[in-house]
Chains A and B, each alone.
Chain A
Amino acid sequence: MKKLATLVALCALFTSCVKEGSNKSTFVYCSEGSPTAFNPQITTDGTSNNASAHTIYNRLVEFEYGSTKIVPALAESWSISEDKLEYTFNLRKGVKFHTTKYFTPTRDFNADDVLFSFNRMRDESNPFFKVSGGTYEYFNGMDMGNLIKDIVKVDDHTVKIILKKQEAPFLANMAMSFMSVLSKEYGDKLIKEAKLGDMDNIPVGTGPFVFKSYQKDNIIKFEAFKDFYGEKAKVSRLAFAITPDASVRYQKLKTGECHLIIEPSPADLGSMKENKDITLLEGPGLNVGYLAMNTMKKPFGNLKVRQAVNHALNKTAYIDAIYLGHAKLAKNPLPPTIWSYDDSIVDYDYNIKKAKKLLAEAGFPNGFETEIWTLPVTRPYNPNGKKMGEMMQADLAKVGIKAKLVSYEWPTYLKKSSAGEHAMVQLGWTGDNGDPDNFLYTLLGCSAVEAGSNYARWCNKDFEDLVVKAKRVTDLAERTDLYEKAQVIFKEQAPWVPIAHSIIFRAMSNKVKGYKIDPLGGDIFKTVELK
C-alpha cells in the first residue's frame, strides 16, 4: 500500500513537471472527428472543410464571415454578361501560395491555377480526375458539371466561366468549399514525382493558415501564413485536437487544453452556462425541419385541410420537448440567417377552434384518417422523429384527425417519400450555399416534384414563376423582393408545417476573442485571438 502511494505521488510529481501549459500563441480547437482528406474538392463533411477549405484554401468569391453574403476573395471583382451566361472574374494580383517543407512556389497565383482546380472535377482526361476515387460528390451534387459549358483563360488575371443556362445561385456555388483553388505548379511537381495522391492529403493553398502536420486521428497543426493576401491570422499557430467524445471535449475546455469546442453535449450546456470561465455561443443553424403534406393525395389537395393542420399542431411544445428548447420556431421554409427571409410573415397560431372550423368548411366536420411518416434517424433539424410523431398524433386527434404513425429504414423512407407514397411526412434540409434558391426551388419548385425533393408534391404556378424568375436575375434587391413574395404564397398555401430551425452551439474559453458562429456551420479561425 505504501509503495502504491509512493508510486502515485511520484507520478503526480513528474507529470506536474510536464503539465501542459497552453501556449499563448497556439490556438487549440477540439474537433469531433478526423478529416477524410485535405482537399475540399473530394470531401463532403464539415469536419474536413474546417481543416482545409476554411484554413488552407481560398475561393474566387467567399461568404462574408458570419453571414451568407458573397464577397470578393481571390477574384477582386466580377462581371456578368447581359444574357447572364458569362461570368468574368478579375483575379487578385500578388497572391502567394504557401511555402512548405514539401513545396516552394516560384510564381504567384494566376488563371492557370483556377483552370487547373476546376477542370480536375469536370474533365475526365485531367491527370488528377481519377485520383481519390474521382466522384466529386459536391460538384456533381450541385450540378456544376452540367451547368458549366466552358472555362476560359482570358489572360493571366482574368477567367471567364460560360454557363449553359441562366443560374443566379451560381455565384453562391462558387463560394462553396468544393470550389477552392489549388496550385497548378504543385500539381505539376506531383505529376513529375508520380505522387498524385499527395494533392489531396498534403495540401498547398493560399489561405490564412499553412498546413504543417497531421498525426492521424490525433492532431492537425497549422501555422499562420505570413504572406497571406488579406488580413493575417492573429494567432501564430493553430491546432485541431481531435476529440470524438463530447464530454471529454468539455473536460479539456475546463482544463485549458482546448480553447474552443465543437458541438457540446446538450447535457453539459447548463453547467457551461454557469461556468464563469466559459462562454457558450449559440446561433440558428442553416436548416429547417418540417412536416410536408402530400398535396397530390386526398384530402391534402384541399387548402383548408392544410391550413387546419397548421393550426392544429402545437409547435412550441415540440421545441420544448424534442429540441429541449435548443431550436427556433420556424414559420418560413427558409432559415432566418439567409438573406430575403421575410420576418413580417405571420404564422398560423395554435388554435383548435380555428382548425376544427376549417376542417368543417373543407367537408370534414368529423375529421379523417391519415398517416404521419416519422423520421427514423436523428438529423440536425429533428433529433427525435418518433417522439415528435406521437405529439403530432395527439394534437391532430384533438381536431378529429386520426393519424397512424409509420416509419421505414432511412433509405427506404427517403425513396418511398420521394416517390410520393406518403400522406404526411417529417423531413428537413440543411442549406449548402446560403442561397434561398437552395431551399425554395430545391424543396418547393415544380420540377422538384419530379426530382423527388419536393415532398409536399406541391406545384403552384405563382410560386414557381417567382422562384424561377429569381434564378434568372442577378440583382440582389430584385431577387430578395421575388423571394419575399414567394414566402407569402407559401404561407398562404401551407404545403408544409415548418417546425424548427435547430440551434448550433459552441463553447469557448473566455480568453478567446474574435470568433463568431458561422451560419453555414463551419468553424473559421482567421480572426480569432487569445487574450
Chain B
Amino acid sequence: MLKFILKKLLDLIPTLVGISILSFVLIRLVPGDPVMLMLGERGADPIVYAKMQKALGLDQAMHEQYFTFLKKAFSGDLGTSIVSKRSVTSEFFSRFPATLELGICAIIFAAIIGIPFGILAALKRNSFYDYLLMGGSLVGYSMPIFWWGLILILFFSVQLGITPVSGRISIMYDVDVVTGFMLIDTLLPKNLANEGIGPFLSTLSHLILPAIAMGTIPLAVMARMTRSSMLEVLGEDYIRTAKAKGLPIKKIIVVHALRNALIPIVTVVGLIFGSIITGAILTETIFSWPGIGKWLVASINARDYPVIQGGVLFIATMIVLINLVVDFVYAIVNPKMR
C-alpha cells in the first residue's frame, strides 16, 4: 500500500509541471499585454512602457520568467499579483473558503435531491416518473450556468422577492471573519453575542440560489448515476433473496440495495468536486460570490499573470489531490486496483 501511495505521489510531479507550463504559456498567448492594459493610451510612450515592464519583471524572456516562477514556487512563493501587489498565496487562501463553502453546499444540495430522484427513477423504471426525472436531469445537465443563474435571480429574487440577488451576507451585519466559512463564523460565540442569529440566516439565504445554480449539473449526474447503479443492484441475487424472504420493500431498498448502490456514487463525488470548482467561475461571477472563481475571472481580464499561474496551479493541485484520495479509497475498497 505504501509503495502504491508513493508511486501515485510521484506521478503527481509531472502532472503539475505540465499544468504549470500550460497555464504559463496559454495566458501569454492570449492577446493583451498587462503593461498596456494598465497604462492604456499612456503606454505608447516607450520610456513609460519599459519602466513599467521592468518593474513587473516582464522584460525577461518567457523561459527565464518560467524558471523564476518555478524556482519560487518550489519554495512556496507563487509570486505577487501585478494588480494588488500582494502575495498570490495569501490572496488565494483569503478567497478559497468562500468557494469551498459554496461547493460543499452545492454538493449537499445535489445529493439530497439527486440521489432520491435516482432511486425513484430506478424503482419506477420505464414509467412516467422515470421518463420525467431522467428527461429533467438531461435538461439540468445541459443548462448553461450563466443563463440558469440569471433565471433563478429573476424568478426567486426579483419576481418573488424571497432570496437576495447576490453577495454572501447582508450588508447590515458586521461579522468577524475567523475561519472564512460564513456558516461557521456567524455561529461563533462572539458573533452570536454581537449580532444574534440574523447573520447566520442571512448567509443561508444568500447561499440558496448559487448553490442551486452550481449544484444543478452535479444533481443531474448523481440522479443518473444512482439510477443505473440502483438498477444493477436491484437485479442482484441477494435482493431477490431478500424479497423472497418477505422483507419489507422499504428495508430492502434502504438497507440492502442503497448501501451497495452508493459505493460508486461516493467515488464520483470526488470527480464532481472538480467540476464544481470549474462551475465556480461562472456561478461566482453571476452571484458576486467572493471566491476564487470570481478572482480568476478578474485576473484574466487584467492579464494578471502571477495570479493566473498561481491560481490555476492551486486549483489543479486541488483536483489532482482529490482524485488521488478517490484512488486511495478505491484501492482500499477494491484491493485488485493496487
Q: Point out residues on A near B: beta carbons under 8 Å.
A: 4, 11-12, 14-20, 23, 26, 28, 33-34, 36-37, 42, 44, 132-135, 137, 140-141, 197, 200-201, 212-213, 215-219, 221, 239, 241-245, 247-248, 251-252, 254-255, 257, 379, 409-411, 414-415, 417-418, 427-430, 451-453
Contact = CB atoms under 8 A, between A and B. Distances in A.
Contact of B158 (A28, A133, A213, A255): A255
A241 B288 contact: yes
A20 B31 contact: no
A36 B290 contact: no
Nearest to A20: B170
A418 B36 CA distance: 14
B201 interface: yes
Interface in B33-68: 33, 35-36, 38-46, 48, 51-52, 55
A217 B171 contact: no
Contact of B45 (A14, A132, A251, A452): A452
B294 A244 contact: yes
A257 B208 contact: no
Contacts of B86: 197, 201
B82 to A, nearest CB: 9
B106 to A, nearest CB: 15
Contact of B55 (A11, A133, A215, A218): A133
A218 B150 contact: no
A16 B285 CA distance: 25
Nearest to A142: B42
B48 A42 contact: no
Contacts of B164: 19-20, 255, 257
Interface in B187-219: 198, 201-202, 204-205, 208
B161 A414 contact: no
Main secondary structure of the interface of A (DSSP, over half): mixed
Contacts of A23: 172
A418 B39 contact: no
B38 A252 contact: no
Interface of B is mostly: helix
Query: Which 3 A-B residue pairings sit nearest by Cβ, starting from the closest?
Result: A217-B290, A218-B290, A18-B201
Chain B CB within 10 Å, residue with most, of A213, A218, A254, A452: A218
A217 B95 contact: yes
Interface string B291-311: 100110110000000000000
A16 B162 contact: yes
Contacts of A415: 44, 46
A206 to B, nearest CB: 24
Contacts of A453: 41, 44-45
Nearest to A238: B171
B298 A218 contact: no
Most B CB contacts (10 A, CB to CB) among A137, A239, A430 go to A137
A215 B167 CA distance: 11
Contacts of B290: 215-218, 242
Contacts of A133: 55, 80, 85
B166 interface: yes
B158 A248 contact: no
B44 A414 contact: yes
A429 B42 CA distance: 9
Interface centre among B55, B150, B171, B172 (most CB of A within 10 A): B171
B208 A216 contact: no
B222 to A, nearest CB: 16
A452 B41 contact: no
Contacts of A417: 44
Most interface-central of B42, B158, B298 (chain A CB within 10 A) = B42
B167 A241 contact: yes
Nearest to A429: B41
Given A141-B42, A410-B32, A414-B43, A243 B166 contact: yes
B171 A28 contact: yes
A10 B268 CA distance: 30
B52 A137 contact: yes
A503 B169 CA distance: 34
17 contacts: A16-B161, A19-B164, A20-B202, A37-B84, A44-B38, A200-B85, A217-B95, A217-B290, A218-B168, A244-B285, A244-B294, A244-B298, A255-B164, A410-B33, A415-B44, A418-B44, A451-B45
Nearest to B292: A217
Contacts of A221: 171, 174
B304 to A, nearest CB: 10
A217 B40 CA distance: 24
Contacts of B26: none
Contacts of A141: 39, 42, 48
B296 to A, nearest CB: 11
B161 A255 contact: yes
Contacts of B275: none
Nearest to A21: B172
Given A133-B55, A251-B165, A452 B288 contact: no
Contacts of B287: 248
A169 B38 CA distance: 24
Nearest to A451: B45
A483 B283 CA distance: 51
A200 B201 CA distance: 34
Contacts of B201: 14-15, 17-18
A217 B31 contact: no
A209 to B, nearest CB: 15
B43 A411 contact: yes
A34 B164 CA distance: 20
A135 B48 CA distance: 11
Nearest to A455: B44
Contacts of A247: 150
